[in-house]
Amino acid sequence: MLRVFAVLSATALVLLVGGALAGVYMIWRLSNDLPDYDHLARYEPPVMTRVHAGDGGLIAEYARERRLYVPIEAIPPHVINAFLAAEDKNFYQHDGIDAQGVMRAVLTNIGNIINDRRLQGASTITQQVAKNFLLSSDVTVERKLKEALLALRIEEAFSKQQILELYLNEIYLGLGSYGVAAAALNYFGKSLDQLTVAEAAYLAALPKAPNNYHPFRQRERAIARRNWVIGRMEENGFVTSFEASEARGEDLVVTPRPFGAQLVDANFFVEEVRRELYDRYGEERLYEGGLSVRTTLDPELQAAARKALREGLVAYDRRHGWRGPVGKLEPGENWHKALSEIELAGDIAPWTLAAVVGLNEKSVKIGLRPEKLISGSFSEDVVTGTIPLSEMKWAREYKSENALGPEVGKPADVLSVGDIVFVEPLDGEEGKYVLRQVPKVNGAVVALDPHTGRILAMEGGFSFELSEFNRAVQAKRQPGSSFKPFVYAAALDSGFTPSSLILDAPFVMDQGPGLALWKPENYGNRFYGPSTLRLGIEKSRNVMTVRLAQNIGMDKVVDYAERFGVTDNMPPVLSMALGAGETTLLDMTTAYAMLVNGGKQIEPTLVDRIQDRWGRTIYRHEKKVCEKCDAQEWKGQEPPELPDLREQVISPQTAYQVVSMLEGVVQRGTGRTVASVGVPLAGKTGTTNDERDAWFVGFSPNLAVGVFVGFDEPKPMGKGETGGGVAAPIFRDFMQAAIGDEPGVPFRIPSGVNLVRVNAKTGQIAQPGDDNVILEAFRDGTEPSQPEAAPYSAIGGEGVYTEGQPDVSLGAGTGGLY
């Protein structure tokens, strides 16, 4: 018996020693095979790039992992305590492995095995850092041993605060949120210091399995888990009983933030910024580099641009009739369910979809698409309304851009039961709606600071979600007569004055063998005899512009087009003087800005400044250097002067003369609709052959704005749909919102310019009794000294100006740009 006991004891001792040696060997082997944890000290996690408006408001985020990295000092104690209570209450007492926690988990798991429940872990926060940063998530003994060994080494190499900082910035908390700072914003729209105890406890409930405690799909479980964390905080003395009770009674209110653009009004602007950042820094730095981008966007002007463009496009669309419903319900189909299944572009709100469920002689009864909830599901509430006959009178049948069906007499002339249509709530009328349709025509608006080139607003179309094509920068279109100011600028620098006379009479050019004669015409197919340069631009006379370009030479016109950045490689042919080349709205608006800023070259920009993740400025648009701005104190010295590095494109005097003539376009010419804003404005209309493109580009002394309208696939917009009728009202409405309530600021007159009273028709010195007198801008030495006796000399031939008989119309012709 003793021998048997001795044998068994010896065997047990051998096995124990052997097991110990095997364990020591395994630990030695695993220790030599551990990943390098030194890089934790140099940890640079992927951090989202954040884009801000000019006023500092957040307008977009770009990231693969939505993370904001914050130092431990910036994380409030109650947030830290919530995670300690939920994940590792002995964090500050253990050396990486919590022996008490391990024993507690072993005992708990015996019961879990018996009851076939999921096993509990006992990982400390340090072990989770080791796993998240250095190891895989494989559930193996070897991985757990490595995790424990790494935890011990990490505790030796890093302070508790450093470990906690790594953990709280790395953990995934659902809704695409990495780290507590991003989670606070994405779940509650708050910074960390604004979180309540209940909100911090909910975030602390998420690290193990965010989807198990989803705020919408698993709401009851989420609240129960949050309350459990609050209880643990109370047990550990992190909160008082009263604070715990108050936190448990707080409702769980989660309002997820959208990813990407945060400001619906600015989708086109933000996408251009994203493209610029991608081109400048590449994909990885854009989505992981933690850039902080301060843009030039003015949110109020952006909202005004979007509103003015949408209303202008809708106004054009309504003039051309009703193209029919967007869909039709199947017989017997549930309209509530059918509408909820239709995708709807979010950026056309407050428009929504509705189904026609009944109609009578005076109105249409509609059922509205159910509201989409934050959770992604749809409301069960059934909402109905009516469209009064008065709000669908516009919906005459579309036949062509120039033809409509009969007038609408009753709702049945437009709609029938089962039709699916767009509607918008009628202002001030509960339950009543306006019939809408998405315009086929599209357009763009750009507004920029003419002195710096900062783009303050950019709207590239009716809806970004329906079409991401940005017509402000990507569409190359013919500018028509909006190009004429640069022809006139070239003429003024060639010795002409605003009062110089040009013959407005038929012009015919032989284009070469086999080609038809070119016969440019004015809009309306009329000719007006000798007219001043000012009158030519105010009334947008084509033939005068062609004669002027022929006189100064197209090479000079091409040179001015390139100076102003309107277009490159323009062929030196006369039709280009009428805007037959192609350019973008942004380029045209920038060129006009150089006129009003005194002829200084500017570069349009979307971005003011870019900082890296450490706050260091890595890009700044403003290149000026102020050498004397670092004075320690004021000792009576003169204030420092900032150098003006802008290149002079044309002289300030010529620039002002063009500005003055463009002010006349608004006061007396094709842009008169803009004058109702009530402050000094200037600009030029532009329309191309068959009304395919409509433009208005103009400015106040401190704001340059361009508007373009046209079909994406160019086609006629309809007779009479000119720049003055389509684009100018959009410009007017935007300017009314932007500066209409401000005191009027006159355009700046540079030295070397004299204002002289002249007869607006003849350009001669005004005489007593003249009833059409204006102040004309002349460069020093070019103003007329006394009236010239008739006949007046005019470019293009000798013409006699006869009061009251200016028309020398030759009837219909071949058309042209106007």
Catalytic residue annotation: 87, 481
**Are the C-beta atoms of residues 212 and 94 closer than 8 Å to each other?**
no
Tell me the DSSP string of 129-197.
HHHHHHS-----HHHHHHHHHHHHHHHHHS-HHHHHHHHHHH-B-STTEESHHHHHHHHHS--GGG--H
Nearest CA-CA partner of 184 in 96, 13, 66, 100: 66
Rg of the Cα atoms in the chain: 37
Nearest CA-CA partner of 486 in 581, 626, 395: 581
- Cα separation, 538 vs 666, in Å, equals 8
262 by DSSP, 3-state: which?
A: coil
Q: How far apart are the first and last CA of the chain?
A: 120
Q: Rounded to whole angstroms, what are the CA distances from 354 to 250, 317, 329, 397, 675? A: 37, 20, 11, 20, 39
**Are the C-beta atoms of residues 503 and 795 closer than 8 Å to each other?**
yes
H helices of 410-499, where?
484-492
DSSP class of residue 39 equals: G
Nearest CA-CA partner of 779 in 753, 757, 806, 760: 753
- Cα separation, 473 vs 450, in Å, equals 17
φ/ψ (deg, to 5) at 420:
-110, 125
**Are the C-beta atoms of residues 450 and 588 closer than 8 Å to each other?**
no
**Are the C-beta atoms of residues 656 and 680 closer than 8 Å to each other?**
no
Beta-bridged to residue 756, according to DSSP, are: 776
Nearest CA-CA partner of 523 in 141, 753, 816, 179: 816
Q: Rounded to whole angstroms, what are the CA distances from 572 to 314, 547, 562? A: 38, 14, 12
Nearest CA-CA partner of 641 in 652, 655, 623, 625: 625
Q: Which two tokens stand for residue 486?
A: 């640069």
- Cα separation, 704 vs 296, in Å, equals 14
Place of tokens 């006992």: 122
- Cα separation, 689 vs 725, in Å, equals 15
Residues in the chain: 818
Nearest CA-CA partner of 439 in 315, 263, 599, 338: 315
Q: Which two tokens stand for residue 607?
A: 């971005």
**Are the C-beta atoms of residues 264 and 272 closer than 8 Å to each other?**
no
User: Which contacts qualify for 319-323: CB closer than 8 Å, 24 or more apart?
Assistant: 319/718, 320/398, 320/401, 320/404, 320/718, 321/394, 321/395, 321/396, 321/397, 321/398, 321/399, 321/404, 321/405, 322/394, 322/395, 322/396, 322/397, 322/398, 322/414, 322/437, 323/398, 323/437, 323/440
- Cα separation, 540 vs 548, in Å, equals 13
Beta-bridged to residue 704, according to DSSP, are: 448, 699
Q: Which two tokens stand for residue 255?
A: 């309002």
- Cα separation, 530 vs 503, in Å, equals 4
Kindly tell me the burial class for residue 106, based on how many C-beta atoms sit within 10 Å of its own C-beta (0-12, 13-18, 19 or more).
exposed
Nearest CA-CA partner of 524 in 539, 534, 512, 510: 539
